[in-house]
């Protein structure tokens, strides 16, 4: 049996090739091997959402996947949202509306909001609640998080208008 398997990942637009043991979790490889420390590990069994990333455009809990299962996939972590150096509008909205306290849940919340706003640029409060239902916040800041996503929708719409010819 081979100890390590060669995999290729595209993370935040950059290609990586690495050798991993088949038992390693995607979350551990992203955080510990590749240094994407925005991938937080809370429960490590799929409950809290802190380890959320986008895998080929869909939300996944990276603590529930082996890294080898992500071979050949494109991954977006929270760091990828401001790869240009400027904060993403969703990140700005979370600052403006005090959408975090300790920040542990925040990367997962922001990526869940990002995915929601791709599909529903002007979501209702209920849609936001549903989209974030799988992300837990121990600081109990849900009202501020809800307002942050509503604010993010406004900032994204403004950014879109600015880009329009």
3-state secondary structure 13-43: CEEEEEEECCCCEHHHHHHHHCCCCCCCCCC
The binding track of 124-143 with respect to ligand FES, each residue x by CB under 6 A or -, is: -------------xxx-x--
Q: How far is the CB of 37 from ligand FES (least distance, A)?
A: 14
Per DSSP bridges, beta strands 74-76 and 5-11 are parallel
Identified binder of ligand FES from the candidate list 10, 33, 42, 155, rule CB under 6 A: 42
Does 44 participate in binding ligand FES (rule CB under 6 A)? yes
Helical residues (DSSP H) of the chain, grouped into ranges? 26-28, 89-96, 106-119, 125-131, 142-163
Sign of CA dihedral 65, 71, 76, 80: positive
**Site for ligand FES, residues 1 to 30, rule: CB under 6 A:** none
Q: How far is the CB of 2 from ligand FES (least distance, A)?
A: 27
Residues that bind ligand FES (CB under 6 A): 41-44, 46-51, 61, 63, 100-106, 137-139, 141
């Amino acid at each position: 049996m081979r100890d390590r398997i060669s995999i290729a990942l595209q993370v935040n637009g950059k290609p990586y090739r690495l050798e991993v043991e088949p038992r390693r979790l995607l979350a551990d490889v992203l955080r510990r091997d590749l240094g994407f420390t925005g991938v937080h590990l809370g429960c490590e069994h799929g409950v809290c959402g802190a380890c959320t990333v986008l895998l080929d455009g869909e939300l996944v809990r990276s603590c529930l996947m082996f890294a080898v299962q992500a071979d050949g996939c494109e991954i977006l972590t929270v760091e990828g949202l401001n790869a240009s150096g400027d904060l993403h509008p969703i990140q700005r909205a979370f600052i403006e509306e005090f959408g975090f306290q300790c920040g542990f849940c925040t990367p997962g919340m922001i990526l869940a909001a990002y995915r929601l706003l791709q599909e529903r640029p002007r979501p209702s409060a209920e849609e936001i609640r549903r989209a974030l239902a799988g992300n837990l916040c121990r600081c109990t800041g849900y009202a501020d998080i809800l307002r942050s996503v509503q604010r993010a929708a406004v900032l994204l719409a403004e950014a879109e208008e600015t880009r329009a010819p």
